[in-house]
Each structure stands twice: as C-alpha cells, then as structure tokens.
Amino acid sequence: MALIVHKYGGTSMGSTERIRNVAKRVAKWARAGHQMVVVPSAMSGETNRLLGLAKELAPEKQTADYERELDMLASTGEQASSALLAIALQAEGLQSVSYAGWQVPIRTDSAHTKARIESIDDTKVRADLEAGKVVIVTGFQGADALGNITTLGRGGSDTSAVAVAAAMKAQECLIYTDVDGVYTTDPRVVPEARRLQTVSFEEMLEMASMGSKVLQIRSVEFAGKYRVPLRVLSSFTPWDIDIAVESQSGTLITFEEDENMEQAVVSGIAFNRDEAKISVLGVPDRPGIAYQILGAIAQANIDVDVIIQNLSKDGKTDFSFTVNRGDFAKAMDLLRSNVLPSLGAQDVVGDTKICKVSIVGIGMRSHVGIASKMFGVLSEEGINIQMISTSEIKTSVVIDEKYMELAVRALHKAFDLDQAAVQNAA
C-alpha cells in the first residue's frame, strides 16, 4: 500500500461525465489498496471566465486590493471542482472529503495571484487517509498568515499536487492531463512532435520556465528540491486500464542520468507568448542604472526575464527587458511615474507582440555550435532576432510573435525532433 497523489487538469475535470471518469479511476487506485490524495483543477475555461468577469468590471486596475479579490474569485473554480469530485467519489461508494487550501492548511506568502507555498500541515489529511477516506486537496490555492485566500499563478494546481506529494512523502505524483506525456514541443503547434518516455529534471525545468505549459515551473522546482517521483500522463485512457500499465505510461521526470535516456542534443523546444518587451531609451550610461530600473521592478514583485543593455553612444544607452504580459501595464506605469524622472532617461517604450522561443537539451553542454545552428535556421526563414539569452542547456530568442509557429516548426525539423526523423534513424 502506498500513498499516491493524483492531479487532474481542467480538461480532465471539464464536465460531470469527465469528473465521473476521474472518480472511477481514483476509486480503482483506492480499491487496489493505495492511500489517495487527489488535487483537481477548475473545470476547463472556468478560471478564464471568472477572471474575465473581473476585467469587465475593472480592466486596468492592478492594485494589491484588486489582486486580493481576484484570488477570492479565481479560487472558487477549484473549490467547486473539488467538491464535485468528492461527491462523485461518494457516489462510487467511497468515503471522500474535500478541503480548501486554508482548511488543510496550505500556508503561502501574501503575493496575491502568484503566491508561493511556505508550508503544508498534513495532520488532518493523514488522519482522513488512515480512516480510509480519499482526500481531495483543492488545487491552485492556499491562505496567507492572515487567512487571506491566495492563488499560486496560472497552472498552479500542478504545484499544489507536487507540494502535497513532497510534504507527505508520497510514493509518486501523477499529473493527469489532456496529452499523454511531455512532448518534444507542444503537439498542438507541431503535430509531428514526439512523446518523450523520460525527460531529465533539468530539461523539464528549462522547458517549463521557457513556457511549456504542460507543467507549471514551480511544480518542477518542488519535484527537484524534494525528489518527488513525477509522471505526466493522459486522463483520457480508459479508466479501468490496468494499474501496472497506467503506472508505466506517459513521461517520467528523471533525476539520475540514465544510460537508456534518449540522448538528443536538443530534447525539446518551448515557446512563450506571455511576455512583453520594455525598453528604456537614452539612459545615461553610468554605474547603477540596471539596479535603478530593475530594483524598482523587483520591488513591485514583477519578474524580469531576458535583459539586454546596448553599447553606449554619446554616454547614453538603451536598456531592454521582458516581463509577463500580465505585469506589463504595471511595469510601464511604474517606470514612467517613478523611475524615468530620477533616471534622466529619454523615454520608455513597450512591445506586447513578441514571443520567446527556446531550444533545450542537456546535450548542449557537450556540443558546440548549437546556438549558431539555431540562429542559422531562423535567418533562413527570414526571422529577425530581437534578444538572445542562454544557459548551459538552453538558448532562447525573442522574436516577433507572428513568426512563432514558423520558428518552432523550422527548429523542430532542423534538430531532428520530428517523429519521421526518429523513425528513419531507427
């Protein structure tokens, strides 16, 4: 008997019929003797619907008070699906109880809309498991020290699940979704994409941080920190599939270098349409400017991604960086009202129509020329590169959003990731 955590995403929870299927699958695992903790997402489209309502009422408001209410609002989506799943499990003849984040409790910091989990008290959940219940822990949410409901950022139910699995030392955390694993790139964009049987933790971390939405980055960070065995698999297989077969399906995130691992130089391609570029123009080129600009941005709790500073001309330089699109208006306001006057810069301009495309692979450590091959492929397609950033195992470029699919497809092919390429080589 093992303690297993299942997480079901929005599409998997998308209708009462699908919730019934989830309940049947979970019941199968529970009846096989496992202690089951299940973390559901809101039904698909629900979080967008709720946030859309808020936007109708207050389009540009992004104050702390407003973000607190967004969390009150968005967290209801998961609360509803958790109760529905508990009801469906009870209808299957199992004992089941659902808990909101604050009831567990899952304690987070107070960064509304992107809170971080600080601690999980599993006393209550353990007692319920011992009593033979299937416990539903509501995904995507927690509560801060003052009891305010917080949410963990879009896609945050993944993080709830992995954090619960880490806190409870679960034997495995299974992330059930609408694809049957982690692919070389988003199969919705490149139909030739191939499922990876295993992907190393480091690659998964880069792919998630570069925009592969199949796992939220923080869930991968948790998995790495606490060595949580993590697998991504489909919730659309028949619910009564043999558990032994189910346990081997999908993609396993591995922590050790595995001899049998697929040894491609580039393992995957990620893209991100959620960023916007900000350029501060005509900044006096003196020590401290990066700190003045980015320090203010960090204080407002806005994450910065790619950064470039141009060579100075006549003592002035341009300084560009990317932020999440959701933080774009806030960052622009902040720079215009607080930073620009004291910095003595000429102007600040923004571009929301950009995207970031990244190639990822641990093989990049030991192979040279991979980045230049990437630039060559993009140049052949006539795609202009606006910014570049690299790490040991990835190279990212910022390009015009309209070329995103073209770039991803061309790179996928050039790095032999297409299904056909692998079949030919075999």
Instruction: Name the residues that contact ligand ADP, by CB under 6 A.
Output: 9-12, 41, 155, 177-179, 182-183, 185-188, 212-214, 268
Selected binder of ligand ASP within 140, 176, 183, 222 (CB under 6 A): 140
Q: CB-wise, 88 or 179, nearer to ligand ADP?
A: 179
Nearest residue to Mg ion on Cβ basis = 155
Residue closer to ligand ASP (CB basis): 101 or 361 = 101
Report helix, strand or coil for 177: strand
Residue span binding ligand ASP (CB under 6 A) among the ranges 150-158, 204-212, 273-281, 414-422? 150-158
Of residues 74-113, which lie at the interface with ligand ASP (CB under 6 A)? 77
* Rounded-to-integer distance, Cα 177 and Cα 158, Å: 10
* 40 interacts with, out of ligand ADP, Mg ion, ligand ASP, none, CB within 5 to 8 A per kind: none
Q: From 105-113, 153-161, 322-330, 366-374, give the range in contact with ligand ASP by CB under 6 A.
A: 153-161
Alpha-carbon gap, residue 51 to 125, rounded angstroms: 30
- Options 154, 195, 330, 373; binder of ligand ASP; rule CB under 6 A: 154
Confirm or reject binding of residue 155 to Mg ion (CB under 5 A): yes
> Residue number with the shortest CB distance to ligand ADP?
9
Per-residue binder mask for ligand ASP (CB under 6 A), 21-60, x = binder: --------------------xx----x-------------
Shortest distance, CB of residue 145 to ligand ADP, whole angstroms? 28
How many other CB atoms are there within 10 angstroms of residue 29's CB atom? 20
Among 354, 399, 351, CA closest to 375:
399
Q: Which of 4, 6, 8, 10 contacts ligand ASP by CB under 6 A? A: 10
Cα dihedral 416→418→424→426 (10° resolution): 80
- Measured from the CB atom, is 158 or 305 closer to ligand ASP? 158
Q: Quick one: what does residue 140 bind among ligand ASP, ligand ADP, Mg ion, none, with the CB cut-off 5 to 8 Å set by partner type?
A: ligand ASP
Tell the smallest beta-carbon distance from residue 186 to ligand ADP (Å): 4
CA triple 109-111-115, angle to 5 deg: 65
Given a contact cutoff of 8 angstroms between Cβ atoms, the answer to whether 89 and 134 are in contact is: yes
Nearest to 316 by CA among 274, 346, 352: 346
Alpha helices in 210-355 (DSSP H): 217-226, 243-246, 289-299, 328-334, 340-343
Torsion angles phi and psi, residue 342, rounded to 5 = -75, -20
- Specify whether the CB–CB gap between 55 and 25 falls below 8 A: no
Per-residue DSSP letter, 126: H
Q: Note whether 14 binds Mg ion by CB under 5 A.
A: no
Separation of alpha carbons 329 and 276, rounded Å: 10
d(CA 183, CA 186): 6
Only one of the segments 9-17, 52-60, 230-238, 382-390 lies at the binding site for Mg ion (rule: CB under 5 A); that segment is: 9-17
Decide if 74 contacts 55 (C-beta within 8 A).
no
Q: Does 282 bind ligand ASP (CB under 6 A)?
A: no
Evaluate whether 109 touches 148 at the Cβ level (below 8 Å): no
What is the rounded CA–CA span in Å between residue 250 and residue 233? 4
- Residues of this chain that interact with ligand ASP (CB under 6 A) are 9-10, 41-42, 47, 77, 139-140, 154-158
- Residues of this chain that interact with Mg ion (CB under 5 A) are 9, 155
